[in-house]
Structures are given as structure tokens and as C-alpha cells.
Amino acid sequence: MKPITFALFLVAGLASATVQAAPTCRAMSGTHKVPVVELYTSEGCSSCPPADRWLSGLKRAAQNGWVVPLAFHVDDWDYIGWKDRFAKAEFSRRQRDAVARQGSRTVYTPQVMIDGRDERGWASGLRFDRARADSPGPAAARVAIERSAGGDGAWRVRVSGSIDDPSVARGAYVHIALFENGLESVVQAGENRGAKLDHDFVVRAWLGPFPVDRSGGIDHVADASIDASWRRAALGTAAIVYSAKGDVLQAVSTGACAAG
């Protein structure tokens, strides 16, 4: 597969660049590796709202391409009286698998992982700026994401890119996330009863894995169904490239734009 020509999209000096124009929405990664922040959270967990607020505080860093934040709502707390409408069993399994890869058995909420590794420092006000975004060094992969309106109200999402090192490309794969910002819930039961909770970067759909080919080329198209309850103007997309061992090689995301 022929990798994308990145020179068409490069913007000097930025960790990543986003081009917004109807009817498509595009973003591509830069030369430095962009960290992926995953928050495992639940509306039924009384200690989770501070973590939700912290993740929302990463909006500026996300817009600048310094970080890709994602909130995975888990269903572990649904049994105590409040069913989290954003929670999915697959996200609970994803958290358990991520913990197991670290050689641990301790699964808790809220849990923050940066590039798949447990990070408890968020509670001390961990921030992401240009300096921190550049600190991981050059990226092992390049990736671009483009979304456009598909048939029957769906979105067509294309991920393109390349991994130059064949040994790194072997077994590598890509996931696509659709996430929504500006969500809120008034909780009627459970530990957060009576509270109004605000959420950003909530993962609505997690697509893949899509394999990287032997030459290191990335070129996949996915048609993503958009639920009627999702607000299209508040939806973003992200693409994350993983090594065979599950390490993050590179990531990129788009915010809301005219497409779809």
C-alpha cells in the first residue's frame, strides 16, 4: 500500500496540524510523538468527577496537537444504582487488558494511563504543553486521519501513514476513536446522586484494530455509524498507531468541524 504524502499537510513548528474545510476534516501527525491520555471513569464513582474535570482541562493542549485525550467509561459501577449511559463492557475489558500488560492486577477508577502506563500524577495537576509534548522524542510512525460524510448519515474515516522501520511495523495496528465533547448528566442514584456531571473526550465508538502492512504502510477506510443521540457538531475523531506489543507509536486527532 502506498503511504500518504505528508508534505501536503505539514505546518512548520507544530506538533500536529489540523485543516478544517467542508466536506472533509483532516489532521496529520508531526515529527514528535504525541502522548495518548486514557481516563477510565464512571458516573457511578464518587471519586471520578475530579478526574473528568482534569481531562476536560486538556482541551487547549488537544487543540494544539500536544496530546490526544480519551475518556473510556466503564460499566463496573452500574450495579450500585446508576447506569452510566456512556459505559461499555468492552471499555472495562480494555482497562483490564491494559493493566495486565503492565504486570499488574489492580484495576481502579478513576484511572489515568499515558501511552498505556498507569499515571497517578494527574491529581497533582499534571499538564501538557509544547515542551512536554516534545519530550518523548521523534515518533516511530506517521499518521493522518480524514473524515467525510458517508452514506446513510454515517461518517467515512480514512487513516493513512507509514512506519519506516520494518521491525517496528511487524504486527503493528491502528485504532480509530470517535469521541464527543460537552456532555452532561444529572445523576439520579448511586454515589453521585444529585450531581450534575460534565464530560469531554467521551469515546463513543472504538474501531479496529486495523493492521499495518508488511512494508509499514497504513491505509484503511472505516464507515462509522453515528447514533441519533450523538451531537455531530461536538464529535471528534482520533487515530492511534500501536506496536505489536501495544505500545503507542503515534496519535493524531481532529476536533469538531464541518464534515458530516
Task: Report, as an integer, the average pLDDT of 253-260.
Answer: 72
* Residue 152 pLDDT: 84
Question: What's the whole-number average pLDDT of the chain?
Answer: 88
Among residues 159, 205, 157, the alpha carbon closest in space to that of 178 is found at 205
Give the pLDDT mean for 44-67. Answer: 95
Torsion of CA 155, 61, 239, 30, to 10 degrees: 120
Using the predicted structure, report yes or no on whether residue 9 has a pLDDT greater than 80. Answer: no
E-strand stretches of 44-195: 68-73, 111-114, 117-118, 142-149, 155-162, 173-180, 183-186
Average pLDDT over residues 2-22: 36
Q: What is the pLDDT of residue 257?
A: 72
DSSP assignment of 191-213, as one string? TTTT-EEEE-SEEEEEEEEEEPP
Per-domain residue ranges of the chain: 6-254
Across 17-21, 77-81, 130-134, 225-229, least confident range = 17-21
Residue-wise pLDDT tens digits, 70-124: 999 999 999 999 999 999 999 999 999 999 999 998 999 999 999 999 999 898 8
The one-letter amino acid code at 121 reads: G
Nearest CA-CA partner of 185 in 173, 177, 193, 176: 193
What per-residue confidence (pLDDT) applies to 156? 95
Measure the CA–CA gap between 151 and 135, rounded to whole angstroms.
41
Say what the pLDDT of residue 255 is: 78
Cα 8 → chain centroid: 24
Residue closest to 171 by CA, chosen among 121, 209, 125, 143: 209
What Å distances lie between residue 46 and 85, 109, 182, CA to CA? 16, 9, 20
One-letter amino acid identity for 62?
A
Pairing of the two strands 36-41 and 24-29: unpaired
Burial class (CB in 10 A: 0-12, 13-18, 19+), 150: middle
Region 205-226 average pLDDT: 96
Q: Which three cell numbers stand for residue 237?
A: 475523531
- pLDDT value, residue 258: 56
Place of cell 483490564: 96
- Looking at residues 138-150, what average pLDDT do you find? 93
d(CA 227, CA 207): 15
Instruction: Report if pTM > 0.85.
Output: yes
**The three three-digit cell numbers of residue 56, written as one number:** 476536560
Q: What pLDDT, on the 0 to 100 scale, is given for residue 217?
A: 98
Task: Look at 15-29, 74-88, 132-146, 147-161 and tell me which has the smallest mean pLDDT.
Answer: 15-29
pLDDT-based confidence at residue 134 (cuts at 50, 70, 90): low
Q: What percent of the chain stands above pLDDT 90? A: 77
Given a cut of 60, whether residue 164 has pLDDT beyond it is: yes
Coil, strand or helix at 95? helix
